[in-house]
């Protein structure tokens, strides 16, 4: 089977190569998936640089990729909930970094897998699990409810744009930070956009004079603004700034969860959650996709199609 691999920690994309590797084994409680699409997340190239080496064991050569959408090829002997031919999606992070989703096939624990709605494209499905799960878990941690006002930092990004849609689906009022070029995009998602940068707190207060009920930080470095606009008794959470815990906030780290992914799939099927696709790439173009992701200026998800 063809897969993208790297054999050493380096941000130099020349370490990436497409080559033939042995097909994955189908362990008990696992599902073998024919990959129809995968998506790039910043964690993929951060792994390439060794950023998560202190917490995750790595076995070289490594196939990167943690998001997948595809068709079930085989199941483990104790996995009756899925069958060959099922269309599925999953956040496929494992305890050891080695066998990821930028390949023609990947084996994934069944507990991580959810069914793909027929109305959702492979590319859309592949862009949902990690970014959508991060947004969903953040808003769950905030206990965001209808009628509340939430400020989302980084609202036009991969996680933020999904967070906006999930919050709108709950009936919340959403104020989202983004550069001016993304304001029309956020309006189309149902958010009230504000320019980030100096004076942000004043601009948010102009929209919400009594403060906001909750803040979801998807970019980091926003604690001062968060505390300035949060009403008394409000809640805040961040996926990129551990210091929020020292100020009553929650630090969110998403874990693979098939039931959580199924909730995202249901929202997508209902037309309440759409993934912005920034570009589609073959296995031999993963390095190019990583470069775009590292630039920090891509709106939407970068999709890998084997």
pLDDT tens string 11-52: 888 899 999 999 999 999 999 999 999 999 999 999 999 999
Q: 């409000």: which residue's tokens? A: 234
Q: What pLDDT, on the 0 to 100 scale, is given for residue 278? A: 93
Per-residue pLDDT at 82: 98
* Closest among 156, 67, 286 to 164, alpha carbons compared: 156
**Pair 74, 157 in one domain:** no
Q: Kindly report the backbone phi and psi dihedral angles of residue 89, in degrees, each rounded to the nearest multiple of 5, phi listed first.
A: -145, 160
Please tell me whether residues 184 and 198 are part of one structural domain: yes
108 shares its domain with 64: yes
Res. 302: pLDDT tops 80: yes
In a domain, 262, yes or no: no
Instruction: Say whether both 211 and 163 belong to one domain.
Output: yes
Q: What is the pLDDT of residues 113-163, one digit of tens each?
A: 999 999 999 999 999 999 999 999 999 999 999 999 999 999 999 999 999
Contact indicator for 163, 154 with CB cutoff of 8 Å: no
**Token pair of 150 as six digits:** 């939430």
At residue 298, does pLDDT exceed 90?
Answer: no
- For residue 120, give its domain range: 2-127+275-304
115 with 146, same domain: the answer is no
By mean pLDDT, which of 5-14, 217-226, 235-244 is the weakest? 5-14
Per-residue model confidence (pLDDT) at position 39: 98
Question: In the prediction, which pLDDT does 297 show?
Answer: 77
Q: Same structural domain for residues 122 and 137?
A: no
User: Which CA distances in Å does 99 have to 64, 102, 122?
Assistant: 7, 9, 21
Whole-model pTM over 0.85: yes
Q: What are phi and psi of 285, to 5 degrees?
A: -115, 15
Asked, as a colleague might, if the bond just before 61 is cis with ω within 30 of 0, I would say yes
Q: Across the chain, which distance is largest between two alpha carbons, in Å?
A: 60
Residues 160 and 73 reside in one and the same domain: no
What CATH number should be reported for the domain holding residue 284?
A: 3.90.180.10
In the DSSP assignment, the letter for residue 103 is B
CB 273 within 8 A of CB 132: yes
Are 204 and 225 a contacting pair, CB within 8 Å? yes
Whether 299 shows a pLDDT value over 90: the answer reads no
Q: Distance between CA atoms of 223 and 75, rounded to whole angstroms? A: 45
The pair of three-digit structure tokens given for residue 154, joined into one six-digit string: 């980084």
Residues 6+ apart with CB under 8 A from 242: 251
B/e letters for 50-69, b = 16+ CB within 10 Å, e = fewer, are eeeeeeeeeeeebbbbbbbb
- The CATH number for 146's domain is 3.40.50.720
Token look-up 């989703």 returns: 101
Same domain, 68 and 185: no
**Would you state the pLDDT for residue 14?**
86
């Amino acid at each position: 089977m063809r897969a993208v691999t790297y054999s050493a920690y380096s941000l130099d994309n020349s370490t990436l190569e497409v080559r033939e590797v042995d097909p994955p084994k189908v362990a008990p409680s696992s599902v073998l998936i024919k990959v129809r699409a995968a998506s790039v997340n910043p964690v993929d190239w951060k792994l390439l640089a060794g950023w998560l080496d202190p917490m995750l064991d790595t076995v070289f050569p490594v196939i990167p990729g943690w998001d997948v959408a595809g068709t079930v090829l085989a199941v483990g002997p104790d996995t009756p909930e899925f069958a060959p031919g099922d269309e599925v999606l999953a956040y496929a992070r494992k305890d050891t970094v080695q066998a990821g989703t930028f390949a023609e096939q990947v084996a994934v624990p069944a507990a991580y897998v959810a069914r793909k709605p027929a109305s959702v494209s492979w590319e859309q499905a592949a862009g949902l699990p990690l970014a959508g799960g991060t947004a969903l878990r953040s808003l769950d941690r905030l206990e965001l409810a209808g009628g509340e006002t939430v400020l989302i930092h980084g609202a036009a990004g991969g996680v933020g744009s999904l967070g906006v849609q999930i919050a709108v689906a709950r009936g919340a009022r959403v104020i989202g930070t983004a550069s001016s070029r993304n304001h029309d995009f956020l309006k189309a998602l149902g958010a009230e956009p504000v320019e980030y940068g100096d004076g942000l707190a004043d601009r948010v207060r102009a929209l919400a004079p009594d403060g906001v009920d909750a803040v979801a930080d998807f970019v980091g470095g926003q604690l001062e603004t968060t505390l300035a606009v949060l009403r008394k008794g409000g809640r805040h959470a961040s996926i990129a700034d551990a210091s929020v815990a020292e100020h009553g906030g929650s630090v969110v780290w998403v874990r693979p969860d098939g039931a959580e992914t199924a909730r995202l799939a249901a929202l997508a099927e209902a037309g309440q959650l759409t993934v912005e696709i920034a570009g589609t790439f073959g296995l031999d173009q993963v390095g190019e996709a990583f470069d775009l992701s590292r630039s920090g200026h891509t709106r939407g998800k970068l999709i890998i199609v084997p």
